[in-house]
Chain A
């Protein structure tokens, strides 16, 4: 029996995937209709936007002392949180690796890492602000938790991908557990660990300028209050400071990455 070949559509999309697309479009249309996004509002907003841009410039650096002290606080939060988070991740990541640890250890540690990752830093910051009060300490704890969630997860995954031959070779010499980790596991994953750490330092720097919105120290608090007081020219100055900080951070992390390559 000769099968009919549809020459026009050699790779026909299946019926189920068509329905999936249809469902997706229906959902998008529904989502759009439920949200109160009128064209009028958009046009009205554009007018308002022009006025806002007008008030954003020129940036006002009159309160540069406040700006500088906040900037330094953001930097301090980012550095302390990154160092703490990365050092803790080193151990947590090792404990979460399923090829080195029994399930009794790795499963609870993995749940802990997942918990650290699930919440946005701002939500974690809210809890820590309640626990340790306003200020830099809450920021440090928040970003430490965020760092553990990211670095420990990726580090554990990197460890799970290592070649086990070296581990066996080192074990065969009669080395203990610590020696096996230090001489067989760490050398295989160290460069990737450095990579994750640099990335996290960069992202902590960005987030440290943000968590101040809920009172956890750094530039964010000043930014938020400047917005609420319609102090828009100061807002521009703060934003420029943040962007400068991020650019410097990016340049430094590129330098470190090149050194460790």
Chain B
């Protein structure tokens, strides 16, 4: 037979095993993940409460919504929206600033190449994670309950939500610094603060400003909705307009938020270009 003549005791394919990108175990694990995702998706789809009549009605409702929104209530911009939007920007900026005051010590404490004690690292990490796990709207609800409705609750909510974000990223930037210059400055007998200012800071500075800008951008978006739970800014105007069914005003508020968010994004991109 032909196959017999071809068969050699040690064929090339037996010597070098067939190339595989992933091992059997890896592939099984991946397929398990896909399977679990598909199954949980189907299970959720079957059990979630959806009222089909509402869904069929949706295009009509949307058309109704937009017809009520148009024309927008331009007259309300100078009277109420402008001031509230400025408040929102102030909330975002001051919140970011306050978060910085809290985040820098925590970031230093969390960076393992600055503070050697694992206990202190863990304490800092706990605060950073706790701050990040709670959404800014929940922070706002808590602070509205404590300080009453208004801008102060908004500033504190933005600040406490941002601490985790800024602190985590800044401490990661600190951990990535080149330890050579740190050791060099330490070898001159410099104090702890001098080492921080002259060795760590210059290396972490670009990352620091970029994190700060990034968070400020996010905070402007977030502070726009904090008013829905009473924490001041444009959200309060939006909430009132919605409760009174003043859809033209709602449209004006949404347009204002849209334009401001785009502007902020543009500014952040420009400033980042200069900094880098």
Does B138 touch A at the CB level, under 8 Å? Answer: yes
Does A181 touch B at the CB level, under 8 Å? Answer: no
Tell me how far the C-beta of A41 lies from the nearest C-beta in chain B, rounded to whole angstroms.
6
Does A175 touch B at the CB level, under 8 Å? Answer: no
Inter-chain contacts of B50 with A (CB < 8 A): 135-137
- Output the nearest chain B residue to A134 by Cβ-Cβ distance: B54
Q: Are A123 and B134 in contact (CB under 8 A)?
A: no
* Alpha-carbon separation in the docked complex, A227 to B146 (Å): 12
Does B80 touch A at the CB level, under 8 Å? Answer: no
Inter-chain contacts of A260 with B (CB < 8 A): 30, 33
Contacts known (A127-B65, A131-B58); A42 close to B147, Cβ less than 8 A: yes
Interface of A is mostly: helix
Mark out the residues of chain A between 50 and 85 whose CB falls within 8 Å of any chain B CB in the assembled complex. 52, 72-73, 75-77, 79-80, 83
B46-68, CB under 8 A of A: which get 1 and which 0?
Answer: 01111100110110011001000
* Alpha-carbon separation in the docked complex, A126 to B134 (Å): 21
Q: Are A45 and B261 in contact (CB under 8 A)?
A: no
Contacts known (A76-B48, A227-B145); A132 close to B61, Cβ less than 8 A: yes
Does A116 touch B at the CB level, under 8 Å? Answer: no
Does B269 touch A at the CB level, under 8 Å? Answer: no
Mark out the residues of chain B between 29 and 57 whose CB falls within 8 Å of any chain A CB in the assembled complex. 29-30, 33, 37, 40-41, 44-45, 47-51, 54-55, 57
Tell me how far the C-beta of B238 lies from the nearest C-beta in chain A, rounded to whole angstroms.
8
- Output the nearest chain B residue to A51 by Cβ-Cβ distance: B146
* Alpha-carbon separation in the docked complex, A217 to B90 (Å): 31
Inter-chain contacts of A213 with B (CB < 8 A): 137, 228-229
Interface residues on A, range: 35 or more
Interface of B is mostly: helix
Does B107 touch A at the CB level, under 8 Å? Answer: no
Q: Are A259 and B33 in contact (CB under 8 A)?
A: yes
Mark out the residues of chain A between 1 and 39 whose CB falls within 8 Å of any chain B CB in the assembled complex. 27-28, 31-32, 34-37
Does B84 touch A at the CB level, under 8 Å? Answer: no
Mark out the residues of chain A between 115 and 130 whose CB falls within 8 Å of any chain B CB in the assembled complex. 118-120, 122-123, 126-127, 130
Inter-chain contacts of B45 with A (CB < 8 A): 80
Inter-chain contacts of A102 with B (CB < 8 A): none
- Output the nearest chain A residue to B93 by Cβ-Cβ distance: A31
* Alpha-carbon separation in the docked complex, A206 to B242 (Å): 25
Does B85 touch A at the CB level, under 8 Å? Answer: no
Does B148 touch A at the CB level, under 8 Å? Answer: yes
* Alpha-carbon separation in the docked complex, A140 to B258 (Å): 22
Contacts known (A52-B145, A73-B48); A131 close to B61, Cβ less than 8 A: yes
Does B155 touch A at the CB level, under 8 Å? Answer: yes
Q: A34-B90, A132-B58, A220-B137 are in contact. List 8 more A-B contacts (CB 8 A).
A: A52-B142, A120-B224, A132-B61, A135-B54, A137-B51, A206-B135, A210-B135, A227-B229
Inter-chain contacts of A169 with B (CB < 8 A): none
Q: Are A35 and B138 in contact (CB under 8 A)?
A: no
* Alpha-carbon separation in the docked complex, A92 to B67 (Å): 29
Tell me how far the C-beta of A209 lies from the nearest C-beta in chain B, rounded to whole angstroms.
7
* Alpha-carbon separation in the docked complex, A36 to B254 (Å): 25
Q: Are A137 and B41 in contact (CB under 8 A)?
A: no
Contacts known (A75-B44, A132-B54); A31 close to B225, Cβ less than 8 A: no
Contacts known (A227-B141, A259-B26); A41 close to B152, Cβ less than 8 A: yes
